[in-house]
Amino acid sequence: MVEYEAPLRDYDFLFNEVFDVTPTIKRLGYDFDEDFLSMLAEGWADHAKEVWLPINQLGDRVGLKFENGEITMPQEFKDAYKQGIEGGWFSTSTKPEHGGMGAPIFFQSVIWGEIATATNMAMSVLPALTLGVYDVLNEHGDQVLVDYFSSNLAQGHWAGTMCLTEPHAGTDLGIISSKAIPQDDGSYRVTGTKIFITYGEHDMTENIVHLVLAKTPGSPEGTKGITMFLVPKYLPKDWKSGDLDGLSHDLMQEHNGVTCAGSEEKMGIHASPTCVMNFDNSVGWRVGDLHTGMKLMFQMMNQERLATGIMGLGLAEIAYQNSLAWAKDRRQGRDLRGPKDPKEPADNILVHPDVRRMLLEAKVNNEGCRALAAWTGILLDQMHSDDPDEVEYASSLVALFTPIVKAHFTDVACETASTCMQVMGGAGYCTEYAVEQFYRDVRISKIWEGTNGVQALDLAGRKITQNMGKNLRHLMWPLTEFIEENRDIPEMLEFNKPLHQGVRGLQQLTLLMIAEGQANPHFLAAGATDYCRYFGNVLLAYMWAKMAKKAMEKKGDPFYDAKIASARFFFKRIYPETVSLAAKIQSGHKSVMEYPTEMF
């Protein structure tokens, strides 16, 4: 029996006490208050637990069926997805004019995302991708495309994908070969093969809308020549040529030259199709201007990178909850200082320091990541403010946080799921207890949307120097302000002092990475992953210091006392790894790059 309770109390603490989000969303024009958002979160948590969670293991064991170019999903998945549409759970943050609820972005991107992934990662990916397509289309598509596609995407009746990778072009998209030939009626004919396309083919929705990167005739070489195209699986029934204005949403039965050539057999997420997609003279429409495809796709990809980080958090949380539940019932050995339960044949394994260490590492990392996720979610809403200064501030921090949330959250999540298996011993390796599935499912998160090594390079090589260093300066202001505010508060010394040391270390390492990286890019690249981890730990330290300060106002309440104790554990047992990370960064690239290739 898999256990799960959505961390709603934690989110209530974060949004309503640590960050006090209600005044912000009111100022941004949202007609939502604390009580309504709480009710919305409870409703989604109940739905996910009752409808999604019971079929998660079934999806893992049964998987999907690929035959004659078509993918058939488990009936239970189709039924659950239909219930999600009927309940409006896929359209909470989409626009009311498209049938959505218009809730703050942070609800869908953070609270919805974590609960969805924890209860059923394989299914959660589909609405997450669809929302990304919806957002890009609404911001950059011609109005006729928005009018035709947006409502069905917003409500989940139609699904969306992003089609980048080709057999010969993964991270290096500049060498893609997919072509788009312009037609006299304003449409294009798209031809090419894309691989690793999540939910590229399935029978969960009536239509699938693909965002495809391709090149038009005479385009510049490399990524500068890439354009984005919207290519649906099915065209409107009454479409002949010309635009989509005024056409019905009845769909042609034959495909729009969009076919699935295969579905990958994978380590995990067995009920999430990973497809090879062929586009054969398929009708499509340009989204955005010519040769802006990479810019637009990065907008969607960055959104999906944040979503992937939250996916890691969701699976780490459910792995922790189930390993903790198992540990509370498990008796093995005795407390090293003497029996705790002399009337029982053995003590509960929570008496053992190493078991406690593992569980606390999982718990504390999860809660720290959740706090940073909450802050990032609020910033996503602030990016849509009418105040240009607020937009610049929020956009700078989101740009900086995106590779960290994606890489640090998923690195830690994989470690957490593995650790939770270890807590359970042999039982953790058995399918009965589900934690091994969480480990297999979460492992893709380090690879999706650009591997974590690529995220680290993006952070160290681009984000810290972007906009003349504004991204980093916008972060240093709240960090240094918080440190100064708490410098003379005795109760905060144990948190504030190491945070100050870490921030100073981050500044010094950043200068080192920039200076040495300009002279030799191998130095920057060799230290990028460790730098990203260091940066992630500093941000979590800031989150834990903020949470500890807020919790001190209500000492004596078990929830708040636990936050203070967790903050102490973070600073004593997790945060010190920044010392070794700094040493590795400072050691440079020579031991890596001067190692003879023939000796591998």
- What residues contact residue 181 under an 8 Å CB cut-off, 6+ apart? 188, 189, 191, 216, 217
The token pair at 459 is 């952070």
Q: Roughly what angle, to the nearest 10 degrees, separates helices 577-586 and 521-552?
A: 160
Angle ∠(58,64,69) on CA atoms, nearest 5: 170
138: β partners = none
Based on the residue annotation, tell me whether 449 is a catalytic residue of this protein. yes
- Strand bridging mode 158-163 / 207-215: parallel
Is 565 exposed, middle or buried, given 0-12, 13-18 or 19+ CB atoms closer than 10 A? middle
**Rounded distance, CA 237 to CA 253, Å?**
8
| CA–CA dist 401, 403 (Å, integer) | 6
**Around Cβ 372, how many Cβ atoms within 10 Å?**
22
* Dihedral sign (CA 521, 526, 529, 530): negative
Q: Which of 304, 436, 449, 516 is catalytic?
A: 449
User: At 388, which helix (H) or strand (E)?
Assistant: helix 388-423
HSE-up (13 A, CA, CB side) for residue 176: 32
Place of tokens 């000796």: 599
Query: 90 by DSSP, 3-state: which?
Result: coil
Residues 495, 548 contacting (CB under 8 angstroms):
yes
Six token digits for residue 386: 């009418």
Give the integer Cα–Cα distance in Å for 161 and 63.
Answer: 20
Residue pointed to by tokens 């941004």? 28
CA distance 291 to 342: 73
* Residues that are catalytic: 449
